[in-house]
Structure 1
């Protein structure tokens, strides 16, 4: 299936295909590049090491799986159209599971709209910490009303002052990362979520595949912009505002044929959303009221969604935190009962709960999990292990 609607309207951009088949689009949104892995593997691994105690003493995101079957969800992004209908989100409370990305948190809390779940994925400590502090996220009142979900790579400063419920997950699609295959061995089975390049793509994987929500409703998911951004993430170094500065604008049209702009990064997110909606049966409603997300979704104003789809009330928090509805695989007694295999097909060692992330274990990961050639050449150097264990070491330099 082709993007006949808005791709045909792109202005001249030599490096951007105008008409892409679904297979070609999927190639555009493939796994995280080896270059990204190369530059961030040390940071990610240091964060996992620092997070180990917290992860082991917290619930995995799979503890929440299948708890909200048939209950609507609203996924709140930080796109510029959020201004149009943010006030209506308060009326949606306890009629849908409201899941917000960290960039949308500040404008929501300023209007006393408290999401049920907040997703944080950015491992950069200063920017994310600043964003959360400015929103008032760490207050005691919010801790009693929101659930924080973090990936295992998140910087520990994100949660160190959070006194509420926290759940961790592993990212499923980091196949290029040397220790992805061994990550479960020291986190236990905490649940995996797919990554599509942005926090909202992970939120969609969680809401649809994890919670089993129906329908899925998008708000603030523009994947584009209409003018130089003056919206909610403009004071931060992540989100749409940052992407508009990092990539050249591409003129296109939105779902109503109005002139707008996107760029390669935002367009790749749009491809990912559309492919997900096309490939996974369900009801997907785009209530953003703006932007370029078109294929695989129906468009309705949020007021119409509220009137027609959100008629029943639920005690969302109680349903999410009910210990009696936890699936078997997420129960504490089963967290460490599993077998994993390495690429050669041999059974990998099962690590017990008391096993800690040591230099010996890192050596085992590097030596037994064959990564891509680019990473292998770096991992051969013992200085990498030294760097992961002690980033202050004089010898802890990555050498090519």
Structure 2
């Protein structure tokens, strides 16, 4: 039994298999017989022992644990604690014919190995819907990555179940796990809000930018370009008013990376950044680019999400570098990259400041210095003076859709922040900790001179940073420009044939959707006729054909965002099913028409370029 389990574990989960060889025993435990003859375990906590499973009937206890899980609409279940695996096996047997993922987080490798002696887990371990994180020391960032890398971080519906005894014998681990899950839920909520409210606009922008994305470099080309040279990351927090003029002294001596919201303010103070970052493809960002003197920006690099507005990218006078993200349009991005080159990825937590930080890390800049990164309502305001979004504390508190917290500032004093700022702060804290835990030696400095305390940073004034790190001209911006200008456009002309196929498939989806609407009319007109079965069969066939062409829905996925959740669940009322299908078909028709127009424009542009 043990050898069979170990063999499949080694094949499917090599890291977990490696954890079994660790000699450190986190807990003392004994395997004992339950009253019904099954095995159970007891773990030592202090001077006493705590039962991991029932001493009477562990399998019946496992049934009760699983019965308490609300599976309605769930797409993933996170199980905390493995013990001897009774509850996990019961859950798997209940779900193995359903498309629901099971994530198990186990904190006692030696107890886990003991479990492998008593049950056959090969079917569980072989399942594509089973994921295992086994570690003697739970790391919050590792746990978050374990979940985020394997779920849809927009629409995933996650349930959590835990072995009740885990709370007693692994309190510290349980606390870390629960805090990490809270963070994941926050990110899910923020992503879902963003996609449902902005997804359509972002997707439209991405489609408009397909040709540009195919032919422009990605952030991969900048890897290591500024190694061991300082980078100043400028954001639009209220403390920027304290030290903005000092940034003139660092020009040419450090790389100035400015968030979009602060560009106009910098130019007004005669400070031209080296790089401007933009991540949000939403219309309110456009005001940051209106009325700019483009003559001053010929050598300024725009690092942008491909979901930003194409006309701004086309008009930008300096070099453009794409930084694809995760979420909206990810399938389209991967599709384009399969015919060109991998552009690279920078993980972000929803803020353009995260993009600036991730970019500095890719550049291998050192030190990385925050300026204007308050993440709090410093001095009772939200943003620096001149910002379109600057509000007083009183004005901000009128927004009852947000939550507000008091946190510690750089001096250990209380300062107000709002929920989105706090989420951005948590991201910085986790990301910096993860970098340091993995041996990164970069020095992270907070020279904001106010605002929230960013964990893992050294507090300094901007003047101190300049005196210590920015005394010599280093031509750092020229190195970045040379790297970008030397980029060779790479794209495979097979993409032209792929465009032809996609265009035909999208046309077919529209035809099928229109036929679906006609059949629903016939079904409604013949509800009591013998023909109803034939119509239902035809409708099922159409849905199957649409499903086969489903990959092409990526070009207009936003059209179905608002019914995405509904079409995942089964309903009892046939009329309700038909009503949802009508909505679905109409949105497929609308999405097909919109995407076909854009796809044809890019197709013709590629044909013209290929003829040169």
Q: TM-score range by the shorter chain?
A: 0.7 to 0.9
| Local SS of the residue matching 1:109 | helix
Task: Count the aligned residue pairs.
Answer: 349
CA distance 1:256–1:33, shift in 2 (3 Å): same
1:124 maps onto 2:282 in alignment: yes
Aligned 1:183-222 pairs, distance under 5 A: 183-185=336-338, 188-208=341-361, 210-222=362-374
1:1-400 maps to which residues of 2 (within 5 A)? Answer: 21=176, 23-24=180-181, 26-27=183-184, 30=187, 33-125=191-283, 127-134=284-291, 136=292, 138-140=293-295, 142-171=296-325, 173-174=326-327, 179=332, 181-185=334-338, 188-208=341-361, 210-226=362-378, 227-229=380-382, 231-232=384-385, 234-236=387-389, 245=399, 247-280=402-435, 281=440, 282-323=442-483, 332=488, 335-336=490-491, 352=495, 356=499, 358-360=502-504, 365-366=551-552, 374=565, 382-383=588-589, 384-390=591-597
What's the offset of the Cα at 1:322? 1.9
Change (3 A) 1:225 1:44: same
Q: What's the CA shift for 1:45? A: 2.2
- Name the SS for the 1:218 alignment partner: strand
Deviations 1:183-236 (A, max 9, x none): 53466422222121100101111110x211111110010110131346246424
Counterpart contact for 2:199–2:328, Cα < 8 Å: no
After superposition, the Cα gap between the structure-2 partners of 1:242 and 1:78, relative to the gap in structure 1 and judged at 3 Å, is: farther
Q: Return closer, same or farther for 1:74/1:287 CA change in 2, 3 Å cut-off.
A: same
Alpha-carbon RMSD: 3.6
SS in structure 2 of the partner of residue 223 of structure 1 = coil
Once the two structures are superposed, residues 86-144 of structure 1 have per-residue CA deviations (whole angstroms, 9 ceiling, x without a partner) of: 1111111111111000111111111101110001222123x32222224x2x421x222
Q: State how far apart, in whole Å, the 2-side matches of 1:248 and 1:107 are.
A: 28
Residue 25 of structure 1, CA deviation: 6.1
Change (3 A) 1:178 1:161: closer
- Partner of 2:270: helix, strand, or coil? coil
Segment drifting more, 46-55 vs 99-108: 46-55
Distance 1:163 1:325 in 2: 13
Q: Is the 8 A contact 2:240 2:448 kept in 1?
A: yes
Q: Secondary structure at the match of 1:148?
A: strand
Distance 1:324 1:367 in 2: 34
Q: Secondary structure at the residue paired with 2:337?
A: helix
CA distance in 1, matches of 2:317, 2:229: 27
How much does 1:40 deviate? 3.3
Q: Normalising by structure 1, what TM-score?
A: 0.75
Q: 1:25 to 1:248 in 2, by over 3 A?
A: closer
Assess if the C-alpha contact under 8 Å between 1:193 and 1:205 holds in 2: yes
- The superposition leaves residues 40-79 of structure 1 with CA deviations (integer Å, 9 ceiling, x where unpaired) of 3332222112112222332222222221111111111100
Alpha carbons 2:375, 2:451 under 8 Å: kept: yes
**Which fold has the larger relative contact order, with Cα–Cα distance below 8 Å and residues 6 or more apart in sequence?**
1
Unaligned runs of 5+ in 2: 1-138, 141-174, 507-548, 569-582, 599-612
2:277 is paired with a residue whose SS is strand
Secondary structure class of the residue paired with 2:448: coil
2-side partners of 1:139 and 1:324: how far apart?
19
Structure 1, unaligned runs of 5 or more: 3-19, 338-349, 392-400
Partner Cα distance (1:368, 1:131) in 2: 30
Quick check: which has more Rg, 1 or 2? 2
Q: Is the 8 A contact 1:34 1:374 kept in 2?
A: no
What is the CA-CA distance between 1:276 and the residue it aligns to? 1.0
- Displacement of 1:270: 0.4
SS at match of 1:201: helix
Which residue in the other structure is 2:7 paired with? none
Q: Which has the higher helix share?
A: 2
TM-superposed deviation, 1:295? 1.1
The structure-2 alpha-carbon separation of the partners of 1:194 and 1:360, relative to structure 1 and needing over 3 Å to count, comes to: farther
Taking a change above 3 Å as real, the CA distance of residues 56 and 180 of structure 1, as seen in their structure-2 partners, is: closer
* TM-score after normalising by structure 2: 0.51
